[in-house]
Structure 1
Amino acid sequence: MNFNNMFKRNIAMKIVSFSMALLIWFYATTEQKVEIRMKAVCEFQNLGESLSVYKTNSDTMDVLFKGKSRDFLIMNLLRRRPTFKINLSSLDKGVYKFTIDKESVRVEHSKNIYAVSVLFPKNIELEIDSVGKREIVVYPVITGRPSNGFTISGEVKVLPQKISVTGPKKMIDSLNMMKTEEISIDNCKKEIVKKTKLNFEGRPVLSEIKEVTVKIPIETVITKEFKDVPVIFVNKKSGISIEPDSVSVDIRISGPGKMLEELLAGEISPIIDISNIYKKGIYTVQITIPKQKYIEVLSINPQSIKLKAK
């Protein structure tokens, strides 16, 4: 028997037969009634313009639905989602509690799918507040590190720097800034200018501005040395004299190229704090340099000296 010839004969009839069998199987399968647990989304309606929903215990509910497999399949294909609506037209500021019954939960344009029971939560609790409005600063969220040998070389700029937000007054009054979505600078070797979205973090807050431009200056790191930089004595007690009364050190620092090229020795201020020297004696004191933005102190030579108080 030649199997190749057997499969080649009546190909059209075989395709039709297979298609019919597939359709019958699909129809039989999707005609079955099933129960499926899904999340229904709450829609608050008709709230006064001067009011806003401040917080809720939940804006979704787990609901058990029943219907034919076919209807659930169509629902998913058309991206229809279960919802329940709460009418807030008669409400003012305050705290309210609504019990949601299964009849109020439905899938639009899907009459054959219906709620069997509301599982969790059984109630929706919410607080309504008056609407507040104010300007707040945008804070850029930066993650990662530039490539080796590079660094952030100056102020990170955000345009616009401030945005106007509206929402529940209690929330608006406590909101000090609006963060952006994360901006990674991993392995970067040059300035970054990027549009990024604001991160509302799920707050019921609105703004006409949804994204900002963030500018992050990145430059090559260089090192620079200063010789014989005078040290400043601070917090000296009255009636105490110090020997030696003048000291100088060598300093080695690193930082952004342009900044260090323009930096003068007088702008680096090594200090010795002698606030703890209040009587005669020999003391070992540390030499420190106040921290400066974008600049790292690599070495101070010497790091400490002996002083004689008399």
Structure 2
Amino acid sequence: MTSPQNKKNSAHATQQTDKAASFKNKMMPTALGAWIGGKLRNLLKRFTTISFGRLVVAFFLAGTMWFTANYESDLEKNVEIPINYLNLSSSFILSNKPYLPSNIKIRIKGTRSQVSSVLKTNTSIDVDLSGKTRGIYTHRINLESVNLPRNVQIVSISPREINLDIDTTVEKFVAVKTEMGDPSLGYQIKGEAKIIPSTVRIKGPGKVIRNITEVKTVPVSIEKETSAFSVDAELISPDSRIEFSEIQTVKISVKIVETSIEKTFKGLKVKTGKIPEDKKISIEPEAVNIKFQGPYSLINKLYGEDIKISINEKFIKKLSTGSSMRVEVIYDYPHKDKISVVEIVPKTVKLTLESKK
């Protein structure tokens, strides 16, 4: 017969066994899930790495093939090739050179690398003028003279022909003229400008140069000049085909002086000197007009109040009551050494001495 104590111990052992079994049953699914998840992540990572690498390689190969195909495909391009006009005798000149093309426009066809090589080379076309004399010639551009890489085709060329007008070279001396503006207000040019040298030698096509008798300099500004000065002035070619044989500039000397002007003052009162207190004096006429001449800067600043018109007191002393006398007026003004009186009207006035009563 089992004792109560043994029953109690047996029940406790059974309870512990059930708890252990329950914990094991709970943990088994969790561990299995973790193991499966890890395997899946590794597999996915491996798959992703392999696919991305293959994708990069595929894109690289495709891009390389596309670039190669486009780079080496035929391409058309417009290029300009300079023209050199060579070996013309010094006795002759290209009369129409300023109007001749300096470049030939060519449209070429080739691979991109070939076209690029043309753009980088110093290719030019030479027009040989050796043996040519006075006359008009038509020069046809020879395609073989265009030095291009192999397999580069010329699609079009413009112009195909060039008209050359060759004339005899002529030299002669012509006069030099200059143009000047106006000086500052109150100043003027004295005499003519002096040009050294006064003639220069020019060179150009005979049919152009025969009609030229003078050349001019660039305009000379004298607006701020108030005295004599000299300046170097560049010569201007009257025609783009005309050249200066020796010099390109001349020296110009100009004399600038202050302008002399006139100014008239009207109605200036004639003033008397001292007279006896019981006397009065009448003047006919009471005022005069006076004209001055002098430098602009001084005359321009001369005003009526600066001018004193009067009569000599000695004439008043000679007068007796009721008597009259015609006398010359006298005048005073500033800068007498530089300003002169041109005219005074009237020169004399009539004085009459009267009693105040």
Larger Rg: 2
Higher relative contact order (Cα pairs below 8 Å, separated by 6+ residues): 1
Larger strand proportion of the pair:
1
